[in-house]
Amino acid sequence: MTISRMEIRKRDGLARSGIMTVHDTTVKIPAVMDTERLFPSLMSTRLSNIPLSAPEGFVRSYSVQNGDQPVTIHPLLDNPAQSGDCVMVANWHTAFHQPRNYVNWLVVLKEKTPPDTTWYAPGVALPANAHILIYTGFDFFDFRAVDLKTAQGIFCTPEGEFPKTMMESGICSCEGCRTGSLKMHNQTALLGEIALITRFIEQGQLRELVESRCRMHASHVAILRHLDNRFTFTEPRAPIARGGVMQVNSGESINRVEIRRFAERLTSRYIPPKTDVAVLLPCSAKKPYSISWSHRRFQAAVANRAHELIVTSPLGLVPRELETIYPAGHYDVPVTGYWDAEECAVISGIIARYFARNRYRRVIAHLEGGALKVAEMAAVACGITLEYSCRDHPTGDEALANLDLALAGELRIKDNRLHGMCSYQFGIDLDTRGFSVRGRFPEIFYSRNNVQCFSIDTATGMLRPTIDGWNLIPDGYRVTIDDFVPEGDVLVPGVENADPQIREGDEVLVVGARAIATGRAALPGGEMLRSRRGVAVRVRKIKRV
Ligand SMILES: [Zn+2]
C-alpha cells in the first residue's frame, strides 16, 4: 500500500524540489531529517543493509520485503517499488569509493524504479557531498553521517572536513559554533547546504553549483564525468530549456547534456536553407548574437548573400536561424582567446560532421584565433576547402570590405529562421511559403493568411505553435488524452500516450476525442507513461472539437 506521495515543484535532470507527504507529515524536499520518526519501521527493519557489491545469490537470499516504507531497492533485485513509494538505497556511501559503479548502479536503479518515487540514502549525507547526491536523484537524508563526524571530532563544511579546533577560527558563525556545539554546527552546515542546493535547483543552475563544488573531491568529478558519458540515460531526463544564463566555466561544461544535444540535433534534424554559400562568423558575448554590435556589422556586409554559421565554444556551430534557441542564446563562457586541445577536438568534430552532411559550393571563413583554427581542423577532416575574407580583426573595416567583395554576385537568400527552427525543434521540413513576420527581434510572430501560427518565446528562444501552427506539424510531440475536456493542466492519469521524444519544457499538442490543447510538457514523454500522478502538460489554450 502506498502511504506517501510527492508533489514536484521544480525538476532539473534527476534533481527535484517539492513536497513529500508521508501519512500526515509533509516535508519539503530535498530534506535532511530524523527519518526514523517519519518511518518508524526503520527501527525494526532487519537485513536492509545489503552491500551494493554483494553477489546476486547473497542479495536474493537476504533481501526482505515486508511491505513497509521505505522500500529497499538494490541494483541486483527486481524492482519492488511502485509509483508514490519512498525507496531506500542502503550503503550508498560506499559507492563514492567507486565512481564508475556509482553511476552504473544509479542508472540501473533509476531505470527500473518508477520516476514518481522519493529516494532516501541513509547514513551518507555530508555538507561536502550533498550536491552530488541530490544532483544524482536522491531526495532525502538523515543526520547519521554528520553525527558520526561529530563523534570523530571532525568539523564539516561544504568545502571539506577539518579538525574540531577550526570551530574557533571564524569560518562559521552559526549557533553551534558560537556555543561550542560541534554536533549542532555539523547538522546546521548540512541543513544550510541543502537549502542552498534547493535554491540552485529552483533557479535551474544546479549543474553550475555541482561543477564548482565537485572540484574539492576527485571522486565527485569522476562521478560527474561518468554520468556525462551516459548520454542516452541523461538526455531524456534533461529539460529542453532553462531560465537564466548557462555558465560554461569548467572543463566538464563542454560535456553537458544540453550542449551535446544541440550538436546532435544540428547534425541530424536541422535542415539548412537552400543556398550553396556559407560564411563562418565568430560569436559575440551578447546573445542572441544578432543584437550585438559586431553581428550587425557582419549581417550588413553579408547582406543575405550567404548562410551565416557562427563558430563558437562550446556549442560548435550555431546557424543564424538557431541563435535564439536554448542554450545558443543563453550561455556565457570565459573568453581568453585560447582554445584548449579538447575544445578544439570536440568543436572541429561538430563542424566537420555538419559539413559532411550539408555540402556548400563555397565556405568563407571570416574568423580569427581559436575559431579559425577549429574551422581549419574541420575543413581538413571533412575534405572541404575554405576561402578567407580575413585572418584577424573580423569586425574591422578592411575585413568587412573583403567579405562584401567575396560575396559580390552571389544571390540573396530569403530569411528562413522559421524553417530552420522548425527542423531543429520538431524535426520537420516546413513549407514556409506565404508566411509573414512581425514583431521586434527576438520577439517574432509568424502568420499565414493573417492567422498567427508561431511565435518565438523570448525566455527559451524556442518556437511556440498556436493550434493553427500545430496543423502544419504533421506528427510528433503529441500527448494523447482520454475522452475529456481538460480544465487547466493535463494530469498524468489522463494521459493515454505520449511521444517518447518529448522532453520537459517542450511545446506539445494535447489531442483527445473531445478537445485539443497547446501547452508545455512538465515531464519527459516517457515519464508521463511511467508515472501515476503529477502534472503532465501545462496547458496554454484549449479548443473543443
Ligand atoms: Zn558553525
Q: In the structure grid, which three cell numbers stand for residue 258, read together?
A: 544540453
For the beta carbon of residue 493, count every other beta carbon within 10 angstroms: 12
Residue type, 100: R
Cα gap 184→222, rounded to integer Å:
31
Distance 171 CA to ligand 1 centre (A): 8
**Span from the CA of 177 to the centroid of ligand 1 (angstroms):** 4
Q: What's the pLDDT at 355?
A: 98
- The three-point CA angle 34-37-43 to 5° equals 100
pLDDT tier, 326 (very low <50, low <70, confident <90, very high otherwise): very high
| pLDDT tens column, 246-288 | 999 998 999 999 999 999 999 999 999 999 999 999 999 999 9
Q: How far apart are CA 351 and CA 258, in angstroms?
A: 17
Tell me how far the alpha carbon of residue 193 lies from the centroid of ligand 1, in angstroms: 12
Ligand 1 centroid to Cα of residue 179, in Å, is 9
Please count the other Cβ atoms lying within 10 Å of the Cβ belonging to residue 213.
24
User: Ligand 1 centre from 150 Cα, in Å?
Assistant: 12
Q: Using omega within 30 degrees of 0 as the cis cutoff, is the peptide bond preceding 314 cis?
A: yes
CA 501-503-509 angle, 5° bins: 75
Distance between Cα 175 and ligand 1 center (Å): 6
Q: What is the pTM of this model?
A: 0.95
Q: What is the mean pLDDT of residues 224-240?
A: 97
- Mean pLDDT over the full length of the chain: 94
What's the mean pLDDT in 477-485? 95
- Cα 132 to averaged position of ligand 1 atoms, centre (Å): 22
Secondary structure class of 320 (helix, strand, coil): helix
Q: Does residue 132 register a pLDDT over 60?
A: yes
How many whole angstroms from 198 Cα to the centroid of ligand 1?
20
63-80 CB burial, b ≥16 within 10 A, e <16: beeeebbbbbbbbbbebb
Answer for the pair 119, 138: CB distance below 8 angstroms, yes or no: yes
The Cα 490–Cα 18 span in angstroms is 19
The number of beta carbons lying within 10 Å of the beta carbon of residue 24 is: 5
What pLDDT is stored for residue 181 in this prediction?
A: 97
Q: In the prediction, which pLDDT does 47 show?
A: 58
pLDDT category at 2 given cuts 50, 70, 90 is very low
Which H helix or E strand runs over 193?
helix 182-202
| Lowest pLDDT segment from 70-74, 304-308, 448-452 | 70-74
Query: What's the gap in Å between 172 CA and the centre of ligand 1?
Result: 4
Distance 89 CA to ligand 1 centre (A): 29
pLDDT of 1: 44
Q: What are phi and psi of 361, to 5 degrees?
A: -70, -40
Tens digit of pLDDT for each residue in 370-426? Answer: 999 999 999 999 999 999 999 999 999 999 999 999 999 999 998 899 999 999 999
Strand 316-319 and strand 31-32: the pairing is unpaired
Cα-to-centroid distance, 145 and ligand 1 (Å): 17
Going by pLDDT thresholds of 50, 70 and 90, the confidence category of residue 180 is very high
Q: Measured in angstroms, how far is the CA atom of residue 169 from the centroid of ligand 1?
A: 10
Q: 158 alpha carbon to ligand 1 midpoint, in Å?
A: 12
Gap from CA of 180 to ligand 1 centroid (Å): 9
Q: How far is the centre of ligand 1, averaged over its atoms, from the C-alpha of 159 (Å)?
A: 13
CA of 164 to the centre of ligand 1 (A): 11
Tell me the β-bridge partners of 456. 463
Distant-in-sequence, close-in-space partners of 381: CB < 8 Å, separation ≥ 6? 348, 349, 352
Residue 207 has what pLDDT? 97
CA distance 353 to 263: 9
Cis amide linkage into residue 115, ω under 30° from 0: no
Q: Which of 51-55, 146-150, 166-170 has the highest mean pLDDT?
A: 146-150
Percent of the chain with pLDDT over 70: 99
Distance 470 CA to ligand 1 centre (A): 56
Ligand 1 center to 31 CA (angstroms): 19
Q: Tell me, what's the pLDDT at 58?
A: 86
Average pLDDT over residues 42-71: 80
For residue 25, CA distances in Å to 5, 28, 115, 366 come to: 11, 10, 21, 62
Query: What is the model's pLDDT at position 78?
Result: 87
* 447 band by pLDDT with thresholds 50, 70 and 90: very high
For range 218-240, the mean pLDDT: 97
What strand order describes the sheet that includes 307-312? 316-319, 307-312, 277-282, 362-366, 386-390
- Using a pLDDT cut of 90, give the percent of the chain over it: 84
pLDDT for 46 equals 63
Which regions of 314-380 does DSSP assign to beta strands (E)?
316-319, 331-332, 362-366
Q: What pLDDT sits at residue 205?
A: 95
Q: Which residues touch 316 (CB under 8 Å, ≥6 apart)?
A: 262, 263, 266, 346, 347, 349, 350, 351, 354
Cell of 20: 513529500
- Name the pairing type of β-strands 15-22 and 4-12: antiparallel
Q: What is the pLDDT of residue 57?
A: 87
Residue 63: band (very low, low, confident or very high) from pLDDT cuts 50, 70, 90: confident
Please check the confidence at residue 238 and state whether its pLDDT lies above 50: yes
- Exposed/middle/buried for residue 538 (C-beta within 10 Å: 0-12, 13-18, 19+): middle
CA of 90 to the centre of ligand 1 (A): 29
Looking at the predicted structure, is the pLDDT value of residue 442 above 80?
Answer: yes
Cα 522 to Cα 534: distance, rounded to the nearest angstrom: 9
**Cα 141 to ligand 1 centre (Å):** 20
Distance CA 11, CA 9 (A): 7
CB atoms near residue 407 (< 10 Å): 21
Residue 135 Cα to ligand 1 middle (Å): 25
Give yes or no for a contact between 235 and 263, defined as CB atoms under 8 angstroms apart: no
244 — pLDDT class (breaks 50, 70, 90): confident
- Please tell me what DSSP assigns to residue 488: S
Q: How far does residue 453's CA lie from ligand 1's centre (Å)?
A: 57
C-alpha cell at 542: 484549449
Q: Phi-psi category of 504—alpha, beta or left, where left has phi over 0 and alpha has psi -120 to 50?
A: beta
Helix (H) or strand (E) holding 351: helix 341-357
Three-state SS at 132? helix
Spatial distance between the Cα atoms of 280 and 310, rounded to a whole number of angstroms:
6
Q: Looking at residue 297, what is its pLDDT? A: 97
